[in-house]
A and B are shown apart, each in its own frame.
Chain A
Amino acid sequence: MSIRNKAAIVGIYEHPLRKAPDHSTPQLHAEVARGALADAGLGFADVDGYFCAGDAPSLMGMVDYLGLGDLSVMDGSEMGGASYIAAVDKAAQAIALGKCRVALVTLAGRPRQEKPQPRPNGAEGGFELPYGGSPPNSYAMVAQRHMHEFGTTAEDLAWVKVAASHHAQWNENALLRDVVTVEDVLDSPMVADPLHRLDCCVVTDGGGAFVITTPEIARELNVTPVMVRGAAHAFKGQMGGRVDLTWSAAALSGPRALEEAGVTVRDIKYASIYDSFTITVIMQLEDLGFCEKGQGGQFVRDGGLISGQGRLPWNTDGGGLCNNHPINRGGMTKVIEAVRQLRGAAHPKVQVPDCDLALVTGIGGMLGLRHSAATCILERADA
């Protein structure tokens, strides 16, 4: 059974704060939940499905805090930044099966105030944790190999940030609003070779939420429903030591989601592509089929991702690289900006004309060690 057109996103909310010293994490979850429900014209009493991930203190703790009633579906599974796009997949499945009618998905946290807690590790822990590697190390290992195999350059990587900054200048909530050049990126301090500081996403507090429901309920609400046409999630690890850092799990989730949606990347008008680092974007553009493997650098060069100018309008809110990467996981904001685009509600300077079909991706975990990927295809209901 397919989830194609069986569920619709009807409410979104992105917390305006990027620094939240005076909030608790559950409080932020509650604020984004209320915001997304209000956007949909629904209330907490309508919610019978709830999804959160590792940013939440706990699934049961959040259900209790939010005062949610008789939930028939709840899920707190942790896939890092991909969790919220996987939640589109899982919530749509639950709605398609009639297991719930109104699902709420929240993300929130305060990494600028307190270090996120490490999670228990498996058998790999002893062989990895003592090194103290962090996401920049992991993605840098991938970028280094990509450059070696395909001739990708630091300038190519920088073009991703340049595009994000062109979009962020119009977003009054974006953490970084200055337009930057390729030279600015290359002149920023090296964090982990070959990634410079401006190749890395921002660290932000705050959060976001969305509400997903049946097409029937969606039609009764005073919003433009955004239909889920297809979705998939996938995993890639070290493959018993056969790890190949030239591709990501988006190469698995992307084709599955596109097939379910019955569309190809050539039909996509707007792409929310997870941008924890500049290499993350180049890797996924290739893995999703927007270009040939190894050609991602060429694809983004000379403003290829700038809305109104390039070949693929992308992350028009400024993305994780400039706008918001709440609690170190960008999946939620990818869904939110895609919905804005499909509603025609993005900033006029970056709105894609007649935007009726969008692709959204998330990557969770460490691209160089083990990670999950999720992809969904969203469509304006009247399209």
Chain B
Amino acid sequence: MHDDFPAPDITPESRPFWEAAARGTFLIRRCPACGTAHFYPRSLCPICHQAETDWVESPGEGEIYTWTVMRKSPKGPFALGYLTLDEGPRVYVCFRPEDHAGLAIGKRARIVFDPVQGGARMLFATLI
């Protein structure tokens, strides 16, 4: 579906995220000490540094914080931005091509996992 996008680099730390993504599940990390969720996932809580964080499932829904459509690109236009999840963190995402014309700050969108090169899954966002 997005053949011009390479597969994401998977590290031992991020492997559970991508394994869940392959099943269509969006995981974020939450800190048991301060209770906050963050993104991108990491085991050290970047907010309070007090505890090892836990994986939790997220509906991946939220509101567009900012966006841009890159017009000058060999792979054709693509749109990047941040989605503010209802849990708090802002996630850097690529929006699906069919949503380009409708992008606006404040609109609701949802994380989806679409195939990229080699069939791997990468996170994208779509308007809801």
Interface residues of A (CB under 8 A from B): 121, 123-134, 136-137, 140-145, 148, 189-195, 238-243, 245, 368-369
Contacts and interface: CB of A to CB of B under 8 A. Distances in A.
Contacts of A137: 68, 70, 80
Q: What class of interface size applies to chain B in its complex with A? A: 35 or more
Given A137-B70, A137-B80, A189-B71, 10 more contacts: A133-B70, A141-B81, A145-B66, A238-B39, A240-B38, A240-B46, A241-B40, A241-B89, A241-B91, A245-B66
Nearest 7 CB-CB pairs, A to B? A241-B89, A240-B46, A140-B68, A240-B38, A126-B8, A241-B39, A145-B66
Nearest to A149: B105
B116 A126 contact: no
A136 B79 CA distance: 12
A192 B71 contact: yes
B23 interface: no
A130 B116 contact: yes
Contacts of B39: 127, 238, 240-241
Contacts of B89: 240-242
B66 A130 contact: no
Main secondary structure of the interface of B (DSSP, over half): loop
Interface of B: 4-11, 13-14, 18, 36-42, 45-47, 65-73, 75, 78, 80-82, 85, 88-92, 94, 105, 116, 122-123
B71 A141 contact: no
Contacts of B68: 137, 140-141, 143-144, 192-195
A131 B90 contact: no
Contacts of B9: 121, 125-126, 129
A130 B70 contact: no
Contact of B72 (A124, A125, A127, A192): A192
A144 B67 contact: yes
B78 A141 contact: no
A127 B88 contact: no
5 contacts: A191-B70, A193-B67, A193-B68, A241-B37, A369-B92
Given A132-B73, A243-B90, A126 B14 contact: yes
